Amino acid sequence: DAKTTQPPSMDCAEGRAANLPCNHSTISGNEYVYWYRQIHSQGPQYIIHGLKNNETNEMASLIITEDRKSSTLILPHATLRDTAVYYCIVRVERDSWGKLQFGAGTQVVVTP
């Protein structure tokens, strides 16, 4: 699986959009981009995933560049409950179904 690079931390004001970048320059054509987050002392939580088209769900939007070498997770209206470590993961969906390779992630702190 390709590796990802994320900034170690970022702050965001409550109510504003949080844009979390992820670099995955060695991604292969059959690898998906997944985002998870982990609130302190809890298990990771799935947020969203995509292959090459932009995706949106009730939690967030995922924007993947045309060359697929980077992506941005957007939390449209950050709340204090969004304070967490956010992980960007790339993986081949068909193989190693349960295996997720987590990096260091980005610690997001939402402030009032």
Partner 1 sequence: KAGVTQTPRYLIKTRGQQVTLSCSPISGHRSVSWYQQTPGQGLQFLFEYFSETQRNKGNFPGRFSGRQFSNSRSEMNVSTLELGDSALYLCASSLAGKITEAFFGQGTRLTVV
Under the binding rule (CB under 8 A), the answer on residue 11 touching partner 1 is no
Q: How many chain residues are in contact with partner 1, going by CB under 8 A?
A: 22
Choice from 80, 104, 109, 111 touching partner 1 (CB under 8 A): 104
DSSP letter at 72 equals E
Residue type, 40: H
Question: Count of alpha carbons within 13 Å of 100, Cβ hemisphere only?
Answer: 17
In the complex with partner 1, which residue's Cβ is closer, 17 or 104? 104
> In whole angstroms, what is the distance from residue 54 CA to residue 77 CA?
18
Footprint of partner 1 (CB under 8 A): 32, 34, 38, 41-46, 49, 87, 93, 96-105
